[in-house]
Amino acid sequence: MTDRETRTESIAAEDRARAGAWRLLARYLSAAPDADGLAFAAALKGDDSPLGRAISAFAAAAAATSPEEADDEYHALFIGVTRGEIVPHGSYYQTGFLNEKPLARLRADMARLGIAGNADEPDPEDHVAALCDMMGGLILGEYDAPPCASVAREFFQAHLDSWIGVFFRDLERAGAARLYAPLGAMGLALVDIERQAFAMSGGGQAVH
């Protein structure tokens, strides 16, 4: 733990901001926020950049949403009766099916990078919230790999790049999305920044 804290302190401010943004997405995509989660979101402030404006819009939406409304919206978007409006899994976005090859590739990379699964039950590792959380962890060097630009870049390009933008656009435009529409916009803005930045470090081409 001390080792990890030391690592985190040595990480550049812009990388902590990137990890924070990925983890913010993970937090609200993993489950509907309760009253505390909504209050936390309502207090967020963004600047005048596309990312900052999306965060401000998310804060305003959170301030106008009750926990019950958030729960209903989350259910309509991601769970539904037979399925939600959106199926938030990488494998589904890439192949039209769950549990396909992209999930197997992800599991192999998770093992390689030392990202643990959950002990109790097998999990949908390619859920968008899990992937956003892993991006944050890779940027901060929380797993076996040290915090290294190329590790996060390769992971992004192998497991998110081909579909994550489509997912966030679907979320932004989903019929049931009120609170989650600006979260979709935030995801799009973050992905846009990451793509441009990765291309600058010579990682424009997928490594895998």
Partner 1 sequence: MEKESKRRDFLKLTMLGLVTAASSGAAASAQASVAGEKEEPSSGYRETAHVRKYYDLARF
Q: For binding to partner 1 (CB under 8 A), which residues are involved?
A: 1, 4, 8, 12-21, 23-24, 26-27, 29-32, 40, 43-49, 51-52, 55, 74, 78-79, 83, 87-89, 98-99, 114-119, 121, 123-125, 127, 129-130, 133-134, 136-137, 140, 142-143, 149, 193, 196-198, 200-202
Q: How far is the CB of 124 from partner 1 (least distance, A)?
A: 4
By C-alpha distance, which of 207, 200, 187, 195 is closest to 22?
A: 187
Q: How far is the CB of 186 from partner 1 (least distance, A)?
A: 11
CB atoms within 10 A of CB 193: 16
Q: How far is the CB of 79 from partner 1 (least distance, A)?
A: 5
For partner 1, the closer of residues 184 and 203 by Cβ is 203
**C-alpha–C-alpha distance, residues 192 and 147, integer Å:** 21
Q: How far is the CB of 175 from partner 1 (least distance, A)?
A: 19
For partner 1, the closer of residues 133 and 172 by Cβ is 133
Q: How far is the CB of 208 from partner 1 (least distance, A)?
A: 20
For partner 1, the closer of residues 181 and 186 by Cβ is 186
CB atoms within 10 A of CB 71: 15
For partner 1, the closer of residues 142 and 172 by Cβ is 142
For partner 1, the closer of residues 66 and 123 by Cβ is 123
By C-alpha distance, which of 132, 130, 28 is closest to 70?
A: 28
Task: Please tell me whether residue 28 adopts helix, strand or coil conformation.
Answer: helix
Radius of gyration of the chain from its Cα atoms, rounded to whole angstroms: 17
Could you tell me which residues come within 8 angstroms of residue 67 by beta carbon, excluding any fewer than 6 positions away?
A: 32, 33, 34, 35, 38
Tokens 């937090």 correspond to what residue? 27
Mind spelling out the 3-state secondary structure of 118-163? CCCCCCCCCEHHHHHHHHHHHHHCCCCCCCCHHHHHHHHHHHCCCC
The values of phi and psi at residue 30, to 5°, are -80, -30
Q: How far is the CB of 31 from partner 1 (least distance, A)?
A: 4
For partner 1, the closer of residues 137 and 184 by Cβ is 137
